[in-house]
Amino acid sequence: MAFPKPQATLRSATGIPTGRLAVWWLLASEVVIFGGVLGSYLMHRLGHPEWADAAIHTNTWIGATNTFVLLTSSFTAVLAHQAAERGDGKTAAKFLLFTIGGAFTFLGIKSYEWWYEISHGYTITSNGFWAFYYTAAGLHALHVIAGAIIMGIVAFDAWRNLELQRVELIGIYWHFVDVVWIFLFPLLYIAK
């Protein structure tokens, strides 16, 4: 709390708290970033039926496991928010730690999967499908890493009952990361 907030931060002419408003705007800009990648991927995929030959080498079960991990971490994130609303910072921090654990599990599974694929010769330069596969999933994984780091900071504050409104904000971001994966999963793994 070294930094004194200006009055501007505490005003709310729209009735929406400033932090939440900003996070939603951030997500709107993220939607178009991921929209750009996934839109480009989709139109290439439809124009190149031969990419299906590459797509069958992705592992649906690993993808499904990762979906499960992210859905669970989203669930704990929302529980953390619930606890923060009650003013229970310690419980919120604990649930956030669970969520961070989910993030690391996701990244661990992802690295195993990539290691397996790369060692079998399916690298980012192999063909168009793999290029999009690694780019889209990599961009998503970057968001997972960033989310985990920020969540660590938020959890640290929440443990001392400080800045509890941030628990909700990081939660909203985390659910968005989850939603992106919900779309990546069928696009990259299921549709063969």
Partner 1 sequence: MSETAVAVEHHADHAHDHHGSEGFLSKYVFSTDHKMIAMQYLFTGMGMAVIGGFMAYVFRMQLAFPGISVPGFGQVSPGEYNALVTNHGSIMIFWVAMPVLIAAFGNYCIPLMIGADDMVFPRINRLSYQIFLLSAVILLLSLFVQGGGFGGAWTAYPPLSAVGDYNQTSLGASMWLVAVALEFVAFLLGGINFITTLMNSRAPGMKAYDIPLVCWMIVIASILFMLSVGPLIAGAVMLLFDQTIGTGFYDPARGGDPILWQHLFWFFGHPEVYVVLLPAIGITIDIIATFARKKVFGYKMMLYTTVATGVLSFFVWAHHQFLAGIDPRMANVFTVTTLLISIPIAELCFVIIATLYGGSIRLTTPMLWALAFMAEFLIGGVTGIFLGASGADIYFHDTYFVLAHFHYTFYPIAIIGTFAAFTYWFPKMFGKMMNDTLGKIHFWGTIIPFNVIFIPLFVLGMGGQHRRIYNYEHFPELAGEGMYQLRELATYALLVMLAFQLVFFYNCIASWMRGKKAGKNPWESNTLEWTTESPPPHGNWPEGLPNVYRGPYEYAHPDREQDYWPQNEPA
Partner 2 sequence: MSDHQEHHDDGHHVNYFKIYIILLVLLVISVVGPIVADVIREVTGVAWVATLLTLVTAFGIAVYKAKLVIENFMHLKWEKRIMKWMLTTSLLLMALMFAGISPDVMNHEGNNWRNVAAEAAVARGIDSGEEEVVEEDTAPAVEVAFDVESMFNIVCATCHGSEGLGDGPAGAALDPRPASFADPEFWETRDRDRIVQVITNGAASVGGSPLMVAWSASFDEGQIQEFADYVQTFRPN
| Residues engaged in binding partner 2 (CB under 8 A) | 12, 14-17, 20, 24-25, 27-29, 31-32, 35-36, 39-40, 42-44, 46-53, 56, 60, 64, 67-68, 71-72, 74-75, 77-79, 82, 85, 87, 127, 163-165, 171-172, 175-176, 178-179, 182-183, 185-186, 190-192
Q: Which does 26 bind (CB under 5 to 8 A by kind): partner 1, partner 2, none?
A: partner 1
Q: For residues 94 and 140, which CB has a smaller minimum distance to partner 1 in the complex?
A: 140
- As given in the structure block, the two tokens for residue 114 are 């990539």
Question: What residues from 6 to 25 belong to the interface with partner 1 (CB under 8 A)?
Answer: 6-14, 16, 18, 21-22, 25
Binding mask 96-125 for partner 1 (x = CB under 8 A): ----------------------------xx
Task: Give how far Cα 173 sits from Cα of 1, 128, 188, 192, Å.
Answer: 23, 30, 22, 30
Residues 6+ apart with CB under 8 A from 177: 70, 140, 143, 144, 147
For 4, phi then psi, to 5°, come to -75, 130
- As given in the structure block, the two tokens for residue 38 are 């996934």
Element housing 30 (H / E): helix 18-47
Q: Residue 161's CB: how many other CB atoms inside 10 A?
A: 14
Q: Which residues bind partner 1 (CB under 8 A)?
A: 3-14, 16, 18, 21-22, 25-26, 28-37, 39-40, 44, 48, 51, 124-125, 127-129, 131-132, 135, 139
